[in-house]
Amino acid sequence: MTKIAITGASGFVGQTLAKKLIETSPDAQLILADVHQPPNPTKSSNVECIAADLTEASACQSLVSRSPDAVYILHGIMSSGSEADLELGLKVNFDSVRNLLDTIRVERPATKVIFTSSCAVFGRAAVKDVASEADIVPYPESSYGTQKLMIEFLINDYSRKGLIDGRVVRLPTIFVRAGAPTAAASSFVSGIVREPLHGQESELPVDPNIGIWLSSPRTLAHNLVHAMNVPADKFGHFRTVLLPGYSATSGEILDALEKVAGKEVRSLVKEKRDENIQRVVLSWPAKYDTSRARGLGFTEDVGLEQTIKDFMEADK
Amino acid sequence: MTKIAITGASGFVGQTLAKKLIETSPDAQLILADVHQPPNPTKSSNVECIAADLTEASACQSLVSRSPDAVYILHGIMSSGSEADLELGLKVNFDSVRNLLDTIRVERPATKVIFTSSCAVFGRAAVKDVASEADIVPYPESSYGTQKLMIEFLINDYSRKGLIDGRVVRLPTIFVRAGAPTAAASSFVSGIVREPLHGQESELPVDPNIGIWLSSPRTLAHNLVHAMNVPADKFGHFRTVLLPGYSATSGEILDALEKVAGKEVRSLVKEKRDENIQRVVLSWPAKYDTSRARGLGFTEDVGLEQTIKDFMEADK
C-alpha cells in the first residue's frame, strides 16, 4: 500500500490532488500536512490530516518519520507575498523545503519527491520566444521565481546523486481556482470568472489582450499524479518539466464566460488597470513548448469552455 | 578611499587579485580574509589580513562591520571536493555565502559584491553548442556547479531589489595556476606546464585533442577588477557574465611549452589516461560565446605563449 504525503495540503492544489489520488488509488494512505490541520476532502478513512509548521526542523522529522513512499511538496508563500516579504519567502519557499529535502535524503533516501515549481522561473528574457526547459535560460524577475529555481537545482543535484528521486513540475497559472483570491499576481485570472459566477463584481487589472499560460484543475490533478508515476530513467539527466497548459487572453476568457454563462454574468467584470499587476504579468511568457512533457506522457489541457463548465459543476 | 574585502584570499586567485588591486589603486584599503590568516602579497601597509571562518555567522558580521565598499566572494570548496562531500560543499559554497550576502544586505545595503562562479554551472546539455549566458540553459552535473548556480540566482534577486549591487562572473579554468595541484579536475592543465618548468615530471590524464576553456591569471585579475568598476545599469536585468577566455587543447598547450621552453621540458610530460578525469573534462563545453563580456568592457585573453612566458617571469 502506497503512503503519500502532501505539504501545503489545505491549499486548492493540495485538496484537488488528494481527491484525485484517492479516486485513482482508493487504497492509498495519505498524510495531509499544513500549518493548520487541513480538511480531508475525501470520504476515505486512509487520510491522516496533521498540523505541521515545516519551517521547524522537528516538523520535517516528524513528517518523514511516517515513512512516506512519495512526498508532494506544495507548500509555499505565493508570488506577491514573497515579493513583499523577502525574509518570509526565503524561510518558507527555500529554507523549509531544503530542510524537508535534507531530512528525506538522510532519513529515507531515494524517496520520491514531487515539487511544484512555477513558470515564474522565467523572466522577460523568455518573453520574446516560446520557452522550453531546454532552450530558454531561466532568469527569474521575482523572489518567488528565484526561490523556486534554487530548489529545482537542489532537487536535480540530490536526484543525480540518487539521494532522492525528485520530479520538478513547473505549473501554469491554475484556472479556475476555487475559493478566495490569493496573494498571487495572477489571482485575477480566476477572479474574473469565479466572482461573476457567484453574482459578484470583479476587476480586470490588465489589458484584455495579454496572453496568460493556464492549466485547468482537472488536468493539473491528473498530471501531478502522473509526475509520481513516470519511471525515473525517462527524465534523462535532469528532473525538471514544464507541465502542459494553454495560452489565453483575459478577453478570450471573458468571451468563453459569456458563451457558457451569459452576457449579464460577464458584465460584472469591470476593467480597472493596475500597472503593478500588469507589469508582473507582462514579465511572464504567454506560451511554452511542452514537448518534453508530452514525451513523458503528461496530458494536454481541456480548454477554456470545458474548464469553466467544470468549475460551475464542482461549485454546485 | 575605497575599502575592498576579499574572502578566500589565501588562494591563488585571491592573492593575484590583491596584488592587482594595489597595483591599480595604491590607496585602496584591503581586507584579506580566509579560514587561516592569509599572507599579504603586496608591500602595502593598507592591507589587513584576518582569519575568519565564514561558516560562522559572527565571522560574517565581523567582516561586514569593517564597512567594505566592495566584497569579492572567492572562498569555496573546489569541484572534486564538493562532489565528494555534499554536506561540506553546501555548508561552505552555499550557506556561508548566503549568510555573508544576508549580512551585507541587512547591515550594509547596496554594497558591491563580486562573486566568482564557474563554467561548471553548465552540464553536458551545453557541450553540443557554444554556450552563452543567454542561450544555453545551465543544468549543472556536479554539486559544485549546483551550489554556485543557486548563489548566482540569489545574487541576481538581491541586486534586482537593490539590496546589494552584485556582479557574478563565471570563470574559465585558470592557466597557468602557480603553487601546488588543487582538488579541481582541471588541475592537470596547469600541472603539465608548471611541473616541467620546475624540472619535474607531470602526467597528462586526457586525450591531447580535447579542448579546454582557459583564462590567464593576468587577464583574470584585470577582469576581476573591471567587474567591480562596470556601472551597475550596464548589466541590464541580470548580473551574470561569462568572462572572456580561449579554447586550447592539451596538445596545443604542450606545443606552446616546447616553443617557449624547449623540447626537453616538454618531454617531462607523460600521457597516462585517467578515465574519471577525462569524463569530467568531456562534460565541460570547450568554447563559450563571450560577446556579453566584451560588450561590458571585459578584456580578451593573451593566448598560450604569452601566458607561459608570464608564468616563467613571475616564477623567477
Q: All domains of chain A, ordered by start, with CATH?
A: 3-171+216-242 (3.40.50.720), 187-213+246-287+301-315 (3.90.25.10)
Amino acid (one-letter) located at B237? H
pLDDT of residue B133: 78
Looking at per-residue confidence, does B131 or A92 come out higher?
A: A92
pLDDT of residue B87: 98
pLDDT at residue A8 is higher than 90 = yes
pLDDT at residue B104 is higher than 70 = yes
The chain A residue lying nearest B238, using CA atoms, is A139
Q: Which residues in B lie closer than 8 A to residue A157 (C-beta atoms)? A: 140, 143, 146
Q: What integer best gives the mean pLDDT of chain A?
A: 94
Count interface pairs A-B at CB distance under 8 A: 62
Residue A161 touches chain B, beta carbons under 8 Å:
yes
Residue B259 touches chain A, beta carbons under 8 Å:
no
pLDDT digits (tens, 9 = 90+) for B94-103: 999 999 999 9
Q: Which residues in B lie closer than 8 A to residue A163 (C-beta atoms)? A: 86
pLDDT of residue B128: 67
Interval B19-36 mean pLDDT:
96
Cis peptide before A176 (omega within 30 of 0): yes
C-alpha–C-alpha distance, residues B159 and B147, integer Å:
18
A189 closest CA partner among A216, A221, A212, A207: A212
pLDDT at residue A222 is higher than 80 = yes
Interval B121-145 mean pLDDT:
81
pLDDT of residue A284: 81
pLDDT of residue B125: 65
CB pair distance less than 8 Å for B237 and A125: yes
Which of A140, A153, A160 is the closest to B149 by Cβ? A153
pLDDT of residue B21: 98
- Residue corresponding to grid cell 499560460: A213
Most confident of A129-143, A256-270, B278-292: A256-270
Residue A125's pLDDT band, with cuts at 50, 70 and 90, is: low
Task: Please state the separation of Cα A314 from the chain's center in Å.
Answer: 19
Interface of B with A in 223-242 (CB under 8 A): 237-238
pLDDT of residue B234: 96
pLDDT at residue A79 is higher than 90 = no
pLDDT at residue B30 is higher than 90 = yes
pLDDT digits (tens, 9 = 90+) for B187-222: 999 999 999 999 999 999 999 999 999 999 999 999
Interval B100-117 mean pLDDT:
98
- Residue corresponding to grid cell 570563470: B171
The chain B residue lying nearest A138, using CA atoms, is B137
B147-161, B174-188, B196-210, B262-276, range with the lowest pLDDT: B174-188
- For residue A244, the SS3 value is coil
Residue A154 touches chain B, beta carbons under 8 Å:
yes
Rounded (5°) CA angle A131-B125-B148 = 90
The chain A residue lying nearest B139, using CA atoms, is A238
Q: Which residues in A lie closer than 8 A to residue B146 (C-beta atoms)? A: 153-154, 156-157
Which of B134, B139, B238 is the closest to A238 by Cβ? B139
Interval B43-66 mean pLDDT:
97
Nearest chain A Cα distance for residue B256, angstroms: 37
Residue A129 touches chain B, beta carbons under 8 Å:
no
C-alpha–C-alpha distance, residues A49 and A31, integer Å:
6
pLDDT of residue A128: 66
- Cβ proximity of A2 and A25 under 8 Å: yes
Which of A134, A137, A163 is the closest to B133 by Cβ? A137
pLDDT of residue A122: 87
- Residues of A marked active site are found at 144
Interval A153-182 mean pLDDT:
95
pLDDT of residue A126: 67
B253 closest CA partner among B198, B210, B301, B286: B210
Interface of B with A in 192-221 (CB under 8 A): none
A132 by Cβ neighbours in 10 Å (0-12 / 13-18 / 19+) ranks as: middle
Question: Which are the contacts of B313, defined by CB distance < 8 A and separation ≥ 6?
Answer: none
Amino acid (one-letter) located at B82? S
CB pair distance less than 8 Å for B156 and A139: yes
- Cβ proximity of A225 and A213 under 8 Å: no
Interval A284-311 mean pLDDT:
92
Neighbouring CB atoms inside 10 A of B140's CB total 24
pLDDT of residue A108: 97
Residue B31's pLDDT band, with cuts at 50, 70 and 90, is: very high
